[in-house]
Amino acid sequence: MVRAPRLTGDADGPPPDTVRRRVVVHGRVQGVGFRASCARRADVAGLGGWVRNTGDGSVEAVFEGPPAAVEGLVAWCGQGPPMAQVRAVEVRSEEPVGDHGFTVR
């Protein structure tokens, strides 16, 4: 099987101690600064990934990096910024792809 080259990350892939989590945050999470706050925290933590609003009113994000930093941001998503009212957070583990830098989509 031939695999397509990765468009993000290093040619050698992510470091072995890297984890990746995808979260979907439900509740009053759009229009309250959730994405901007999330991106600032991810940048400070040195994480790769992205965050975006979804059509159903939730926020979806992917965090990739050292386990403690990723889990810290996943935990923060359970509360979010001051104006957010988080009702539920879905978390899924994914294979790291070597993302560097964090973007708001």
Report the CATH number at residue 66: 3.30.70.100
Asked if residue 76 belongs to a domain, the reply is yes
Asked if residue 43 belongs to a domain, the reply is yes
Domain count, the chain: 1
Per the residue annotation, which of 3, 6, 28, 35 is the catalytic one? 35
Q: What is the DSSP letter of 36?
A: H
Check pLDDT > 80 for residue 50: yes
End-to-end CA distance of the chain: 32
Per the residue annotation, which of 21, 53, 87, 105 is the catalytic one? 53
- Tell me whether residue 35 is one of the annotated catalytic residues: yes
pLDDT band at 58 (very low <50, low <70, confident <90, very high): very high
Edge-to-edge strands, sheet with 48-53: 85-94, 19-28, 59-65, 48-53, 102-104
Buried b (16+ CB within 10 A) or exposed e, 5-34: eeeebeeeebeeebbbbbbbbbbebbebeb
**CA 4, CA 97: separation in Å to the nearest integer?**
13
Asked if residue 9 belongs to a domain, the reply is no
Asked if residue 13 belongs to a domain, the reply is no
What six digits make up the tokens of 28? 């009053």
Query: pLDDT for 78-95, tens place per residue?
Result: 999 999 999 999 999 999
Asked if residue 51 belongs to a domain, the reply is yes
Residue numbers of the domain that contains 23: 19-94
* pLDDT score at 19: 97
Length of the chain (residues): 105
Asked if residue 102 belongs to a domain, the reply is no
pTM of the predicted model as reported, rounded to 2 decimal places: 0.84
CA 8, 13, 18, 19: dihedral to nearest 10 degrees?
60
Asked if residue 75 belongs to a domain, the reply is yes
